[in-house]
Chains A and B, each alone.
Chain A
């Protein structure tokens, strides 16, 4: 698969730096580490994605060792930026506790904050999210907040101290793609902090269309892990994120509902 892309990033020299809270990241594609068929498949897919930021979850160690070891046995923390999440938390207090446990691992003070409000849709609890963002920001965390695709919530999260807001394209693990281009565009237009679309992207066209809205990046997990061939899908996503980003920066042509010929209308034979 390495022959498909040149070693250089396709967007190199054509894109602007991707900076969150003063730290520059090399890829606008952020990936999760959950739900892969094997750790080997995960590592190969992440390599193919070109991602620098990889998310991880905090869970109890299985003391009788009947399950697999922790992710750090498989993922070299010196090669990736580990972004701990608070997945599974339904209350602000729980999310704060998980974030602090993650920070104590000693890698960084960043957190992908999730405070979930509904088990069926896994949609965020806005009140809990705002409360946890305030608490963690005051405690020195760099909070990247997983949010609804709602402008007012996004603005409030920015006010609360989030260093990035992460609105969903569609529900976590749904693969439904970008459901509301307008709200994502509006959020990006109105916020000063980076906007990274998190959740719902299913295939490369979803990623490309999302990046074409002008957002700063995309975080995805299931789209890679649940693809029949995660390495191929990760490569496709890497291309799609670059393609969508460059198309956005390039500025698309206006839409017209009539045809306009591309070839000269003069010089035609009599």
Chain B
């Protein structure tokens, strides 16, 4: 594993949970409980969504760079829209 990250005594930030343990962003119109500290990438993985097949809007900002999903920490009250292409004329 030549490309493995260097070992660290600190856990990854996404593994740290804070406070009560859950937060409730609003995803596609419905409040959803996720672990505190979750990122957008975590949410998509929890929902079993392929990031290549969806587009995400966070608090009315479209996330055009999928590489930023894992750096974006979610918070209670965040409004998240996850859309995709469906049949239409």
Chain A residues engaging chain B, CB cutoff 8 angstroms: 32-36, 42, 55-61, 63, 70-73, 82, 84-85, 87, 100-102, 104-105, 172-173, 199, 219-222
Contact = CB atoms under 8 A, between A and B. Distances in A.
Given A61-B54, A70-B53, A104-B55, A85 B84 contact: no
A40 to B, nearest CB: 13
Contacts of B28: 60-61, 63
Contacts of A63: 27-28, 30, 47, 82
B86 A57 contact: yes
19 contacts: A32-B87, A33-B89, A35-B87, A55-B89, A56-B88, A59-B83, A59-B84, A60-B28, A61-B28, A61-B82, A63-B30, A71-B84, A84-B85, A101-B55, A101-B83, A105-B85, A173-B89, A199-B89, A221-B89
Given A63-B27, A63-B47, A100-B62, A72 B89 contact: no
Interface in B9-48: 27-30, 47
B78 interface: no
A36 B86 CA distance: 12
Given A104-B63, A104-B64, A105-B55, A172 B84 contact: no
B88 A82 contact: no
Nearest to B60: A97
Given A60-B29, A61-B54, A100-B62, A34 B85 contact: no
Given A70-B85, A85-B89, 13 more contacts: A56-B87, A57-B85, A58-B84, A59-B86, A60-B83, A61-B49, A63-B30, A82-B85, A101-B81, A104-B62, A104-B64, A105-B84, A222-B89
Contacts of B64: 104
A102 B30 CA distance: 22
B10 to A, nearest CB: 33
Contacts of B54: 61, 70
B57 A57 contact: no
